[in-house]
Amino acid sequence: MGYDLSKEEIKEKILGKLKRNFGKTLEEATQDQIYKSCALSIRDVIVEKWTDANKQMLNQGLKRLYYLSAEFLMGRALVNNMINLHLLKDYQEVLTDLGLNLENIEEQERDAGLGNGGLGRLAACFLDSLSTLDFPVTGCSIRYEFGLFKQRILDGEQVEVDDNWLEAGNVWEIARPEEQVEVKYGGELEEVWTERGLKINHKNYYSVLAIPYDYPVMGYMSEMPATLRLWSARAKTELDMHYFNRGDYSKAMQERELAEVISKVLYPEDNHEQGRQLRLKQFYFFTSATMQHIVRKHKANYGDLHTLPNYFTVQINDTHPTLAIPELMRILMDEEGMGWDEAFDICSRIFNYTNHTIMAEALERWEEDMFKALLPRIYEIIKVINDKFCDSLWKIYPGEWDKISKMAIISYHEIRMANLCIAVCNKVNGVSKLHGEIIKSRTFRDFYIVFPDKFLGITNGITPRRWLAKANQPLTKLLCDHIGDGFLKDYKEMDRIEDLLDNQKFLDDFMEVKHQNKIHLRDHLKKTQGIEINENTIFDVHAKRLHEYKRQLLKVLHILHLYNLKKENPQVHIEPCTFLFAAKASPGYVRAKNIIRLILAVADLVNNDPDTKDILRVVFIENYSVSEAEILIPATDISEQISTAGLEASGTGNMKFMMNGAVTLGTMDGANVEIYEAVGDDNIFIFGATEQEISRMERFGTYKPGLYYEQNTDLRLALNRLIDGSLHVANDRQFSDLYHSLLFGEMQRADQYYLLYDFASYTQAYEQIVSAYVDKERWKRMAAMNTAKSGRFSSDRTINEYNELIWHLRKMSERK
């Protein structure tokens, strides 16, 4: 049962919106107006449910989760909402009757690209699952005016284009100016005595208004739509009339611009923090606004702040929202008159922290003086938390200065946000089994010894609504024909797919769906990039952010190796393969951008050489985004998950490919380990050093990449292509930096990510996966097995675990 809206009503709604919102008949309307009318008609249904549910939730006194994240990578909403309301088929039919086509309409919507990669997309999947499971949640972040840059390829390299996603308006958001709050920066502190004791007076600060925009997120057949609340910065006064009246107009605008730059743009670095002041302003902006909002709301509904932890729980997604902790301390003490211990106790019950990486360059640290100048009161509070924390450590480890200074929140003139989170939060979790173990045994070992009960590992997941029902409608239909549609609400029902693996008809249909999806991708690439690919080749896909640890470069070396094999012996059989890369590089990450240049140069070489152009094709897909992923992933045969073991905390792309029937070629890293456990040794291709092997080499410094270069001829010949003039680039030393980084490196650290170490075993694993592929009977089963076993990677499973171990939310009960 869908939402009961008849087809007649749908039609009336769409035409009514066109008429009343745009003053247009169907014949006169633009595609954009038609899109907006469809979206508004859907929004009405959702907003009605949303309003009722929020009221019910209050009546039933339910606890609400606030999921704080600097990023929510939502993608498009229209078709996803139709699916989740069970209205897709009806809308499709009505639109066909009207002579319209949903695919064209859908493309009018801009992706909400408010995230870089895995971290932001995880937050988006979580909102879908929380709503699907009827748990009350508000996701909080920044309404970036510019999302992650759009990527174009020009003259063989990445060019960034700004993403002004709001320019044509956003039909999903609802502004709530009545709930605006003020966020204060800078200034000085003053202690004053009042009849209630010592009071902190913050003066000479400058303040910015935070205006919330709410965006309902509809889960699948849900009674409890989630709220995504995005805060937008606005100056307190439009113009400074003091300057304006004297005719100094540009000065009059200055304050306004200074304020509004805070929510202007998303920082494009993934897994990397640079300690920039504006970034700190952004983090304080949305966390302060959120905590003020929570306190205000709780006071209005329940009065007494001591009951706050009964009604709110806060998840801090990576350290970016950590300032929520000292900000709540500040509000409770300075504005609500609570004492330190009471306020601290409340904080330690409300906050929880998810760690997403162990890489040093991604751990957030702030220079003490800069921090203190921007947020003087927050700094003071953190200092007290630090003093008390170090005192308590001193009791456990008397005299162990080294250990205590390693664990301290402030040390060497830096504020370390992960340490603050761990010191205060109720629970700290990693994002896969392996990552959960690594943070306990290495990254945060000293903390784990002091707080063994705080640490958890909860494996990430992905929503099967977007990544199956939305992205792969043909496969979803096939599955529904056999096991019904219950699996979209209850992931455990996906296990029933395994019973179909002996059904030849099912397996053939499964492969036919894959073939159709490959054709769909082929047509899409022809249309968007003018690129031709052959759907009768293997589609081998490496799609994720560009980062050295993700080892796109290893894949490139392997392609060069295949090229060499063919050039050396034209008789050799190489199975025709299309290698598809999709990756954005952070604009300031020089080596990552050079790897993109290398991929394009290798594409130029192998795609144009008559000896290889029909068997090896290398394609770089521009502007990888949620919407591109929805087309790419269902068309994939081989899923490349080849990070250096121990460095990919979980990965979630790996799960999306698996769910869509791709077979993983990967290392024992992150959630790959659990994919391996789920599908078994026969249905995955694992290669490379294990995390233990790598950490041993790291500890003893025994890795010598030069040895592999000397001993492995294939590797040496592949690497030499980078510098021997084979590749056509403007600057013939273009790739010598990459070559050099692998063999010599900087500061004695050559090949930090162990590419040369893993090259031989990667080559072997590739041969094995290709021989599995050519055995059509074997491959069918293997591909379908991957889909069959993907149920445990549903984010519904993940959310249930968070709830049982951390949040303890109750679902809204049936309405009377």
Annotated active-site positions, please? 356, 544-545, 550, 652, 656
Segment lying near ligand Z15 (by CB under 6 A), choices 385-393, 602-610, 643-651, 676-684:
643-651
The region of 206-214, 290-298, 354-362, 784-792 touching ligand Z15 under the rule CB under 6 A is 354-362
Shortest Å, Cβ 151 to ligand Z15: 17
Looking at 214, 327, 622, 648, which residue binds ligand Z15 (CB under 6 A)? 648
Contact 437, 355 (CB under 8 A): no
Contact with ligand Z15 (CB under 6 A) among 129, 222, 271, 683: 271
Q: Establish if 651 lies at the interface with ligand Z15 (CB under 6 A).
A: yes
CB 461 within 8 Å of CB 671: no
Does 674 participate in binding ligand Z15 (rule CB under 6 A)? Answer: no
User: What's the CA gap between 208 and 183, in Å, rounded?
Assistant: 5
Q: Minimum CB separation from ligand Z15 for residue 359, in Å?
A: 7
Asked if 75 interacts with ligand Z15 (CB under 6 A), we say no
Beta bridge partners of 427: 352
Residue 548 or 648 having the CB closest to ligand Z15 = 648
Question: What DSSP assignment string belongs to 282-314?
Answer: HHHHHHHHHHHHHHHHHHHHH--GGGHHHHEEE
Q: Contact region for ligand Z15 (CB under 6 A) — 296-304, 559-567, 623-631, 650-658?
A: 650-658
Between residues 428 and 507, which has the closer beta carbon with respect to ligand Z15?
Answer: 428
Per rule CB under 6 A, is residue 794 in the interface with ligand Z15? no
- Per CB under 6 A, the list member of 356, 470, 780, 789 interacting with ligand Z15 is 356
Could you tell me which stretch among 15-23, 111-119, 325-333, 757-765 binds ligand Z15 (CB under 6 A)?
111-119
Handedness of CA 297, 302, 305, 309 (dihedral sign): negative
Nearest approach, Cβ of 670 to ligand Z15 (angstroms)?
Answer: 5
* Contact between 609 and 566 (Cβ < 8 Å): no
CA-angle at 743, arms to 742 and 744, nearest 5°:
105
DSSP letter for each residue of 389-454: HHHHHHHHSTT-HHHHHHH-SEETTEEEHHHHHHHH-SEEEESSHHHHHHIIIIITHHHHHH-GGG
Give me the amino acid identity at 461: G
End-to-end Cα separation, the chain, in angstroms: 19
Q: Does 270 bind ligand Z15 (CB under 6 A)?
A: yes
Q: Which of 117, 212, 216, 791 binds ligand Z15 (CB under 6 A)?
A: 117
Q: Based on CB atoms, which residue is closest to ligand Z15, 148 or 580?
A: 148
CB of 543 to ligand Z15, least distance (A): 14
Q: Does 362 bind ligand Z15 (CB under 6 A)?
A: yes
Q: 651 or 791, CB closer to ligand Z15?
A: 651
Beta bridge partners of residue 366, listed in sequence order? 415
Side-chain-side CA neighbours of 513 within 13 Å: the count stands at: 25
CA pair distance 619, 598, nearest whole angstrom:
12
Whichever of 432 and 741 has its CB closer to ligand Z15, that residue is 432
User: Among residues 364 and 630, whose Cβ is nearest to ligand Z15?
Assistant: 364
Are residues 421 and 428 in contact, defined by beta-carbon separation less than 8 angstroms?
Answer: yes
Taking the complex as a whole, the smallest distance from the CB of residue 124 to ligand Z15 amounts, in Å, to: 11
Binder to ligand Z15 among 537, 652, 660, 787 (CB under 6 A)? 652
Applying the rule CB under 6 A, the residues between 419 and 448 that interact with ligand Z15 are 431
Instruction: Annotate each residue in 118-147 with x if it binds ligand Z15 (CB under 6 A) or - if it does not, as one string.
Output: xx--x-------------------------
For residue 647, the minimal CB distance to ligand Z15 (Å) is 8
Tokens of 366: 């702030």
Output the smallest distance, CB 283 to ligand Z15, in A.
12
Pick the closer one to ligand Z15 by CB: 592 or 618.
592
Place of tokens 């299309």: 578
Cα torsion through 394, 397, 403, 406, rounded to 10: -40
| Alpha helical stretches, state H, 534-649 | 552-568, 590-608, 626-632
Which residues have a Cβ under 8 Å from the Cβ of 808 and sit 6 or more positions away? 63, 313
Point out which span in 84-92, 388-396, 588-596, 649-657 binds ligand Z15 (CB under 6 A): 649-657
Shortest Cβ 121–ligand Z15 spacing (Å): 8
Nearest approach, Cβ of residue 781 and ligand Z15 (Å): 28
Phi, psi of 704 (to 5 degrees): -125, 90
- At residue 815, φ and ψ (nearest 5 deg) are -75, 145
For residue 374 the two structure tokens come to 């921007």
Applying the rule CB under 6 A, the residues between 728 and 767 that interact with ligand Z15 are none
Residues 299-328 that bind ligand Z15 (CB under 6 A): 318
Min separation Cβ 650 and ligand Z15, Å:
4
Nearer to ligand Z15, 460 or 786 (CB): 460
- Contact between 357 and ligand Z15 by CB under 6 A: the answer reads yes
DSSP label of 462? B
Q: Which stretch binds ligand Z15 (CB under 6 A): 114-122, 223-231, 681-689, 734-742?
A: 114-122
Total binding residues toward ligand Z15, as defined by CB under 6 A: 19
Q: Measured from the CB atom, is 509 or 648 closer to ligand Z15?
A: 648
Nearer to ligand Z15, 357 or 741 (CB): 357
Cβ neighbours, 10 Å, residue 426:
18
List the one residue out of 13, 169, 2 whose CA is nearest residue 95: 13
Token pair for residue 100? 């319209």
Instruction: Specify the residue for token string 């049936």.
Output: 814
CA dihedral 299, 301, 305, 306 (to 10 degrees): 170
Query: Which residues sit at the interface with ligand Z15, rule CB under 6 A?
Result: 116-119, 122, 270-271, 318, 356-357, 362, 431, 460, 648-652, 670
